[in-house]
């Protein structure tokens, strides 16, 4: 089944409550991003042969991150694809302000053209993330909560280039067949495995975390001797798309919580084009996505580049982290090892 055929399957399209116009606009946006992602995949695959050095070009994006030449090129490629279809507004990580289109168009699109780009010089997996939302005339673009998304997806540029897609009826994965430059469906109705003992967090921020996050990590580190009676494995790739793909394949949990560093009160990841689409996909695959205190899909953005904490993965772990935040008394942190002394401290 090719991408084109996949998109015309009734399961992919019949879920839209809206009109044909809305359904076609969503399909066209997915096609445009998929097309751009094939070009991005080819560009990244050539790496230094295409002049990609991984060096910063000297400017920074709206969030203050140093912009790499490749971030900007990927942004231009996605915008060029989306400019061929009807949209009301585009929100990109790499643009300070919205790109405005036809105010009467049925959809708007938020995207991170190149996620994990700080890894590009190490030849590690990077990706493109997108979220397609309805445009309601009279309402500011991107002001609705995440559960209003019509579709969300991400592309991983790894050993394989794969597109993970949800249009609100489960999650399918398409892998790029480089021989004919089409995406082919390799997995339908992906379900996140439960009970996987794997967690991912940037532990170098430990001293900045809130207590509930420390408590959860300490439970994992205590392994078979701790309250979870199970040994855990740890992963941290530093590339959200790669972490999400692993969770869809193997389960486990990913945390980028808020912490006490200046500017990191709501973590690092951006709500509209990182947290919302990932939360949508993870929930559609039977997992959970939370800030630690509330469901990510219930959050509505007040500004384009707003950040939010993101804790996503197997439901049992996400729920445990929510209990640690919202009801520590019920969390039953009794053993001194797991009290505020903590394994990380002497």
Ligand X SMILES: O=P(O)(O)OC[C@H]1O[C@](O)(COP(=O)(O)O)[C@@H](O)[C@@H]1O
Q: Which residues are annotated as a binding site?
A: 93, 112, 114-118, 202, 274
Residue 65 is a catalytic residue:
yes
Q: What is the Cα–Cα distance from 155 to 266, expressed in whole angstroms? A: 25
When binding is defined by CB under 5 A, the residue of 93, 172, 219, 259 that contacts Mg ion is 93
* Number of neighbours of residue 233 by Cβ within 10 angstroms: 13
Closest CA to 197 of 245, 237, 253: 253
Please give the sequence-ordered ranges of beta strands (E in DSSP) within the chain, or none if there are none: 56-60, 66-68, 89-92, 99-100, 107-115, 126-134, 151-157, 161-166, 172-177, 182-187, 198-200, 233-234, 253-256, 288-290, 310-313
CB 264 within 8 A of CB 256: no
Q: Is 112 an interacting residue with respect to Mg ion (CB under 5 A)?
A: yes
Query: Which of 43, 82, 90, 94 is an active site residue?
Result: 94
Q: What is the Cα–Cα distance from 118 to 140, expressed in whole angstroms? A: 32
Q: Is 117 an interacting residue with respect to ligand X (CB under 6 A)?
A: yes
Q: Which does 291 bind (CB under 5 to 8 A by kind): ligand X, Mg ion, none?
A: none
* Least distance from Mg ion to the Cβ atom of residue 119, Å: 11
Q: Is 115 an interacting residue with respect to ligand X (CB under 6 A)?
A: yes
* Least distance from Mg ion to the Cβ atom of residue 94, Å: 7
Q: Is 276 an interacting residue with respect to ligand X (CB under 6 A)?
A: no
* Least distance from ligand X to the Cβ atom of residue 60, Å: 11
Q: CB nearer to ligand X: give 305 or 320.
A: 305
> What residues form the annotated binding site for substrate?
115-118, 202
- Which range in 1-9, 236-244, 314-322, 323-331 contacts ligand X by CB under 6 A? 236-244
CB 282 within 8 A of CB 289: yes
Q: Is 243 an interacting residue with respect to Mg ion (CB under 5 A)?
A: no
**How is residue 67 annotated by DSSP?**
E
Q: CB nearer to Mg ion: give 87 or 111.
A: 111
Q: Is 69 an interacting residue with respect to Mg ion (CB under 5 A)?
A: no
* Least distance from Mg ion to the Cβ atom of residue 112, Å: 4
Three-state secondary-structure class, residue 313: strand
CB 287 within 8 A of CB 247: yes
Residue 115 is a catalytic residue:
yes
Q: Which does 202 bind (CB under 5 to 8 A by kind): Mg ion, ligand X, none?
A: ligand X
* Least distance from ligand X to the Cβ atom of residue 162, Å: 16
* Residue with tokens 């579709």, as numbered in its chain: 151
> What residues form the annotated binding site for Mg(2+)?
93, 112, 114-115, 274
Residue 15 is a catalytic residue:
no
Q: Is 290 an interacting residue with respect to ligand X (CB under 6 A)?
A: no
Please give the sequence-ordered ranges of beta strands (E in DSSP) within 210-274, or none if there are none: 233-234, 253-256
Alpha carbon 307 to its chain centroid, in Å, reads 12
Residue 75 is a catalytic residue:
no
Beta bridge partners, 310, equal 256
Interface residues with ligand X (CB under 6 A) are 65, 93, 112, 115-118, 202, 238-240, 256, 268
Query: Where do contacts with Mg ion occur on this chain (CB under 5 A)?
Result: 93, 112, 114-115
Active site (catalytic) residues: 65, 71, 93-94, 112, 114-115, 274
């Amino acid at each position: 089944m090719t991408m084109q055929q996949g998109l015309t399957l009734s399961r992919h399209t019949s879920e839209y409550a809206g009109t044909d116009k809305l359904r076609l606009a969503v399909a066209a946006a997915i096609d445009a991003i998929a097309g751009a992602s094939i070009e991005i995949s080819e560009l990244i695959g050539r790496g230094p042969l295409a002049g990609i050095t991984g060096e910063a070009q000297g400017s920074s994006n709206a969030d203050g991150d140093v912009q790499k030449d490749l971030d900007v090129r990927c942004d231009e490629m996605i915008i060029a694809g989306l400019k061929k279809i009807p949209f009301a507004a585009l929100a990109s990580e790499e643009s300070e302000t919205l790109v405005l289109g036809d105010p009467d168009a049925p959809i708007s699109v938020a995207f991170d053209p190149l996620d994990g780009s700080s890894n590009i010089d190490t030849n590690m997996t990077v990706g493109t993330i997108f979220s397609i939302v309805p445009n309601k005339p009279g309402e500011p673009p991107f002001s609705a909560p995440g559960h209003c998304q019509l579709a969300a997806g991400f592309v991983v540029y790894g050993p394989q280039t794969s597109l993970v897609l949800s249009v609100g009826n489960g999650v399918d994965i398409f892998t790029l067949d480089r021989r004919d430059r089409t995406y082919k469906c390799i997995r339908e109705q992906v379900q996140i495995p439960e009970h996987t003992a794997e967690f991912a967090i940037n532990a170098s921020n430990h001293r900045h975390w809130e207590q509930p996050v420390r408590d959860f990590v300490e439970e994992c580190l205590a392994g078979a001797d701790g309250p979870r009676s199970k040994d855990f494995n740890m992963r941290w790739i530093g590339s959200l798309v790669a972490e999400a793909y692993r969770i869809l394949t193997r389960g486990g949990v990913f945390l980028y919580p808020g912490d006490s560093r200046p500017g990191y009160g709501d973590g690092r990841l951006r709500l509209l084009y990182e947290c919302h689409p990932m939360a949508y996909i993870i929930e559609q695959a039977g997992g959970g996505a939370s800030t630690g205190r509330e469901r990510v899909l219930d959050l509505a953005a007040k500004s384009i580049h707003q950040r939010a904490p993101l804790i996503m993965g197997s439901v049992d772990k996400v729920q445990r982290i929510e209990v640690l935040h919202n009801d520590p008394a019920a969390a039953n942190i009794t053993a001194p090892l797991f009290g505020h002394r903590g394994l990380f401290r002497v």
